[in-house]
Chains A and B, each alone.
Chain A
């Protein structure tokens, strides 16, 4: 076998220059995945900084004070707690509430478009989907690299927008505010999201074709790991929903540049139409965010419970069902702006999505039964994920119910709901997946003790930060306000304290990863005893993933009949030891 296939994909080339070139010009899905991972972690950091700014500003309500100017006139001036730099733009001092708007818009837009949507598919999915299928690469490697550069290009627009004054419309860019606001650089941010959408589309297209055409010999649809199913379902949404975001944002740009009037009521247009356009994408998009998290949860639970997943097909098909239903429900974001007829239909359809979602949760729970669970960091995160996601999911129906949503809409209840699903769901699953696969794609083990400490801190801090927001919301605290009634202050302060603790948790995680990269022990091929194909190749994988194209002879979760190499069979809750086979991790 020729030499270069056997080299780790991370191995440096002869010269530094060649090494750099081998990254910027790579078509290797693993390298592209690692580059995506670095970028989204950077985005997560930036979004986190903006989040801290929001939380610190909410430590106390803004104050309106009377200020006496030199000429003796007295004017009421609003003073921010934290976000009040007193900078002038176009001759006017930017008021603190505009700074506050910028902070939460920045937070939302970065977290949604630059972090969470690409997070699992484009980073972990890119690295692992082809390996789990036993393929050498994704179907269109150059398109994959292109999508990464499109992402970077979009990111540059976002950064330009931030530097040029930011955006204060919220990540939803609702018209007519987004077409009339005079502050900041809205157009650049809208273009950023537009461009980032294309990167997402390309990733989705690539994965669909990869799954259809590049499965290893012997791998049928129901031999695919559930992570692959989930990413596949995600890709369907990415392809079918994202173009509508593209055209929406393009029309918004036209609206801002040429005043085409379609979304502008002052010109006879229709502002609510914009909301339809936006949510036609953005509700399916929340499933772009969570479905890959579901996929990771399935992997973590099966591998760390060392047990066949309960209800494989139910979990697989529920992903597809969720993808389909996600196109039916967008109007539940508009119960206060659309008509009663639409309200009734959308409310009814929204409840449908709870069914496939609950199917997943029940199957995961059933898998725990009589499992031999190893409570390492990925498994902890899987459990935290189920806990938080269930809370997030269960707070969905009250929002989908017309009568209650009238009260809860645009309050902190919604903020808590979507943070429980997006952070408690996707981000916790992402963290679990990151730890689970870290040894595989970096070739290094991480410090299990400190990672567990950090994960517990993140879990507790997350709940402190966001659970109180349910109470804030039910008591009537609206979202996106820089100030509030004083009786909300205690709950806001608890939330801010939780956010600071979250920061501590993530900093410990960062330290654990840094330590692992610098001085981590070398990772074995199969540290957790997994059965899917990625555990049969080297850690880190060789350039073409496998020494030889693998032939699939067992399912990814056949823990009742197969024991991976180097793992103590006594750790396995096997029904019949006589039937046990051993997988040879070694292919030589």
Chain B
């Protein structure tokens, strides 16, 4: 039966050095595999496309679409951008498949986390009515059903009324944006 000292170990690791012949061989292997030098042009184009996609996502967010459509557009564009970054900036395209497997496993867990949580959260409306989906700004008072889903609203409303009654200033925040798409 063959055992350790019959077979000459490939590398003598005891002093942390390499057999010079081995070094040459693996040097080539090293240079051949590990060093993938990214091309300047490709990386620049990826960067440019990312900027364009950023503009695109801003633009779509201002289109008159349903809330769901806005959300879907935002997620789709962001996913494309993230894939570009992962594939090219993060080198997955050229790397060992193992790193891509790690990413896939991560996405598997991530999607399950959101997906199965939403399965519960979204099916609650089948039992308890939730807030009306399309609420537009402009002083619409919450319905009773909404108040029960959010005692907080009621609390903060009372707090503001109290302030008013005491003559304390209520600062009227205009926010930064305030631009309405509709």
A217 vs B5: C-alpha distance when bound (angstroms): 13
| B3 and A583 contacting across the interface, CB-CB below 8 Å | yes
- Chain B residues, Cβ within 8 Å of A272: 120-121
Q: Which residue of B lies closest to A349 (CB)?
A: B116
B113 CB contact (under 8 Å) in A280, A324, A548: A280
B51 at interface, CB cutoff 8 A: no
Contacts of A265 in B (CB 8 A): 151
Interface contact B105-A240, CB-CB below 8 Å: yes
* Cross-interface CB contact of B4 among A267, A324, A550, cutoff 8 Å: A550
Within 8 A of A (CB), among B25-46: none
A549 within 8 A of B: yes
Q: How large, as a class, is the contact surface on chain A?
A: 35 or more
Residues of A within 8 A of B124 (CB): 339
Known: A240-B109, A280-B113, A551-B7. A340 touches B151 (CB 8 A): no
Task: Give the interface SS of chain B, mostly helix, strand, loop or mixed.
Answer: helix
- Min CB distance B30 to A, Å, is 15
Q: Min CB distance, B110 to chain A, in Å?
A: 9
Task: Judge whether A273 and B121 touch: CB under 8 Å.
Answer: yes
**Partner among A212, A268, A273, A581 whose Cβ is within 8 Å of the Cβ of B151:** A268
B15 in the interface (beta carbon within 8 A)? yes
Given A2-B15, A583-B3 in contact, is the A276-B120 Cβ separation under 8 Å?
A: yes
Cβ–Cβ contact A341 & B109, under 8 A: no
Q: What are the interface flags for A227-238 relative to B under an 8 Å C-beta threshold, 1 for contact and 0 otherwise?
A: 000000000100
B residues near A328, Cβ cutoff 8 Å: 112, 116
B66 interface hit (Cβ, 8 Å): no
Q: A270-B121, A553-B3 are in contact. Are A339 and B127 (CB under 8 A)?
A: yes
* Residue-wise interface mask of B (48-85) relative to A, using a CB-CB cutoff of 8 A (1 in contact, 0 not): 00000000000000000000000000000000000000
Is B143 in contact with chain A by the CB < 8 A criterion?
A: no
A327–B108 CB distance below 8 A: yes
Q: Tell me which residues across on chain B come within 8 A of A548, comparing CB atoms.
A: 4-5, 9, 14
The CA of A28 and the CA of B90, in the complex, are separated in Å by 32
Contact partner of A341 among B113, B120, B150, B151, CB < 8 A? B120
Task: Pick the contact of A266: B117, B119, B149, B151 (CB < 8 A).
Answer: B151
A346–B7 alpha-carbon span in the complex (Å) = 53
> Which one of A273, A340, A553 lies within 8 Å of B117 (CB-CB)?
A273
Q: Which residue on B lies nearest to A277, using beta carbons?
A: B117
Contact at B152–A261, with CB atoms within 8 Å?
A: yes
A1 near B127: Cβ-Cβ < 8 Å: no
Q: How far is the CA of A217 from the CA of B2 in the complex (A)?
A: 13
Tell which of B4, B98, B109, B153 has the most Cβ of chain A within 10 Å.
Answer: B4
Q: Which residues of B contact A340 (CB under 8 A)?
A: 123, 126-127
Q: How far is the CB of A227 from chain B (nearest CB, A)?
A: 22
Contact digits for A373-403, partner B, Cβ 8 Å, 1 yes 0 no: 0000000000000000000000000000000
Q: Is A479 an interface residue (CB 8 A)?
A: no
* A578 CB → nearest B CB, Å: 14
B97 located at the interface, meaning its Cβ lies under 8 Å from any Cβ of chain A in the complex: no
A406 within 8 A of B: no
Asked if B137 is at the interface (CB within 8 A of a chain A CB), the reply is: no
A244 sits at the interface (CB 8 A):
yes
Which residues of A, 160-212, contact B by the 8 Å Cβ criterion? 212
Q: In angstroms, how far is the closest chain B Cβ from the Cβ of A261?
A: 7
Contact in complex: A236, B105 (CB < 8 Å): yes
Asked whether A276 and B9 contact (CB < 8 A) given A5-B14, A339-B127, A587-B4, the answer is no
Nearest first, the 10 A-B pairs at minimum CB distance are A268-B152, A268-B150, A342-B120, A341-B123, A581-B1, A338-B120, A339-B123, A267-B152, A276-B117, A240-B109
Q: List 13 A-B contacts (CB under 8 A).
A: A2-B15, A240-B106, A268-B153, A273-B117, A331-B120, A341-B119, A342-B119, A342-B123, A548-B5, A548-B14, A553-B2, A584-B3, A587-B3
> Can you name 9 extra interface pairs (CB under 8 A) apart from A261-B152, A549-B11?
A272-B120, A276-B117, A280-B117, A331-B116, A339-B124, A339-B126, A342-B123, A548-B14, A581-B1
**B residues bordering A, Cβ < 8 Å?**
1-5, 7, 9-11, 13-15, 98, 105-106, 108-109, 112-113, 116-117, 119-121, 123-124, 126-127, 149-153
